[in-house]
Structure 1
Amino acid sequence: MEEDNKYENLESIYTNIDNYNNLPRVQERSCLDTEVQKRGCEAASEGRQACSGKPAAVCLGLLCVLLLAVIIGLWIKHDAGRDQLQSSYDNMTKERDQLQSSYDNMTKERDQLLDINNNLTLERDQLQSSYDDLTMERDAFQQKLELLTGERNQLQRDYDNMTKERDQLQSSYDNMTKERDQLQSSYDNMTKERDQLLDINNNLTLERDQLQSSYDNLTMERDAIQQKLEMCFKGWRKFGSSYYYFSNGRKNWAESRQYCREMGADLLIINSREEQEFIKEVNIDAWIGLSDAQTEGIWKWVDGSPLTTVYWSTGEPNGAHKDEDCAVNEVVSLSTWNDIPCSSEAGWICEL
């Protein structure tokens, strides 16, 4: 708007200048001549009033000459100023025309810019609407992006964990593959062994059947022999899996052992506390199969086994008398063993 007001003011100035320049030059000169004449008449009237006669005429002539010189000077000055104004007017006319042309061009440009501005305003409104829609879509996508980012991070963690598990499983798979191969080899070997064992088992089954038959026959024979033994072992007592014979007479250690051996047995060997308690209940002093006759101080049973469990009386064995190399079980308490000379006489206990 300021630009339009500026152009309107310039146009008004140029219009006034045109109206001034369009006045006829004759009118300008007639006005100038009239003014000069008016001034000359006024001067002449004044001269007539001031002087009369010839001196007055001379003065009047001088005044006229002077006045004419002044008028000529003013005229020359006026022409010079007019030429300058005319030159300025021409220059300003050109500038006005240029400005008018610029104004017209700028008016067209303004109109074009107004049209462009209107179009841009519509486009701006459309773009603003699109921008608002896109902003809403952006916010929605931003929320979706955040959700997807969280899901992606979770999936990344799951992927890392699954990668570790996969590597562990791969390692386990490789180990299991090796184990499988080893097991396959073992299986093949065991299959061969199984086939061999099946053959052996078949053979053993035949042998088992034969042995079962033999066992049944032996069982029948054992039962028959058991009946015969019970008939033979009258006076023997059974404890656990063994039979025990408790003598009524008295003999030395060697004779007692010989007696037992003639019956297919030997002097008693005590292997447990229960067995020691069993013979204590019989309540007799009797030889047992324990001696250090071969090496003094090293007691052994008659089967050659070393002594491990002992039931010596307090202070025994002490070797108080010469050649106390044989052991006797005395009826006093649980710990009743005593060492006495093998030539002494005592009862005896045989074990079968």
Structure 2
Amino acid sequence: MHQFQICPVLIVAMICLTLCHSVMMETLPLCIGIQGMQESQGSPGKVGQKEAKEDSGAPFDMSRVLALEKQLAALQQSLTFYTNVLQFLGSICKDGNKTFITAGKTANFSSAKSECSLAGYQLSAPKTEAENMVMQRIVKKYDKDAWLAISDEKMEGTFVYLDDKPISYSNWNPGEPNGEHQAEDCVVMQTTGKWNDSICTEKGLVICET
């Protein structure tokens, strides 16, 4: 019996084929799926409702507007007052609710009334002893007789305020008013605080009051 010898090369080739087959079986996917059918597009959904418009804020408050307008009017009034005060830079004295203002100017009685009126004030006239003392301090400071908003121009011997009301307070010098030559229809305060009737065309210190 002849012994067949297997070529070592053949054995190696067979081993390689076996190993390659095993490797291919392990690495190939188990199955290959078939491509599925394309899904049809669904019907469109309902259109959503629009969001309600955002509230623009609190309702209009007219009372606040009126309150602000009132405050503005008060500020404007104060501004006007202090603007006018600047025209009378000199002396400012206060007694209670009344304020006396002067710039130290002199004028006749008619011009004195006009100057105070144009500034939004009126020519001063003390109606109490306390007010008379306050005015006296100003008169002494400038050392000039000052006009009072009192006269008897309309009726000789009857002294009244500018609104024609009879005077409620007086501080006349002894023997005054004397109406000398019936020409002294206006009234001045002297540095002593006493009053004297005087000729209206003369010049006197202009003191206004508020």
Range into which the TM-score falls when normalised by the shorter chain = 0.5 to 0.7
Structure 1 equivalent of residue 200 of structure 2: 342
CA pair 231-294 structure 1, distance change in 2 beyond 3 A:
closer
1:236-255 equivalences under 5 Å are 237=92, 239=94, 240-255=96-111
In structure 1, distance between residues paired with 2:83 and 2:123: 22
Matched residue SS, 1:289: strand
Computed over aligned residues only, the root mean square deviation of the Cα atoms, in angstroms, reads 2.4
Percent identity over the alignment is: 23
**Structure 1, unpaired ranges of 5+:** 1-208
Please give the residue correspondences for 1:77-92 in structure 2 after superposition, counting only pairs within 5 Å: none
**Is the aligned partner of 1:308 residue 2:168?**
yes
Query: Do residues 219 (structure 1) and 74 (structure 2) align?
Result: no
Secondary structure (helix, strand or coil) at the match of 2:180 reads coil
Deviations 1:183-236 (A, max 9, x none): xxxxxxxxxxxxxxxxxxxxxxxxxx95x9745642343134314532441226
Q: TM-score, normalised by structure 2?
A: 0.59
Aligned-residue offset at 1:262: 1.8
1:288 to 148, 159, 162: 148
| Paired residues of 1:322 and 1:341 also in contact (CA < 8 A) | no
Question: How far did 1:338 drift?
Answer: 0.2
Helix, strand or coil at the partner of 1:230: helix
Q: Deviations over 1:98-144 (max 9, x none)?
A: xxxxxxxxxxxxxxxxxxxxxxxxxxxxxxxxxxxxxxxxxxxxxxx
The C-alpha deviation readout for 1:30-88, integer Å capped at 9, x for no partner, is xxxxxxxxxxxxxxxxxxxxxxxxxxxxxxxxxxxxxxxxxxxxxxxxxxxxxxxxxxx
Q: Does the residue aligned with 2:148 lie in a helix, a strand or coil?
A: strand
- TM-score, normalisation: structure 1: 0.36
The structure, 1 or 2, with the larger RCO (C-alpha pairs under 8 Å, 6+ apart) is 2
The answer as to whether partners of 1:321 and 1:340 remain within 8 angstroms in 2 is no
Q: Is the 1:269–1:302 contact (alpha carbons within 8 Å) kept by the matching residues of 2?
A: no
Cα distance in 2, alignment partners of residues 316 and 263 from structure 1 = 32
Q: Which has the larger radius of gyration?
A: 1
**What is the CA distance between 1:314 and its match in structure 2?**
1.2
Amino acid at match of 2:160: K
In 1: Cα distance, 2:196 partner to 2:105 partner? 20
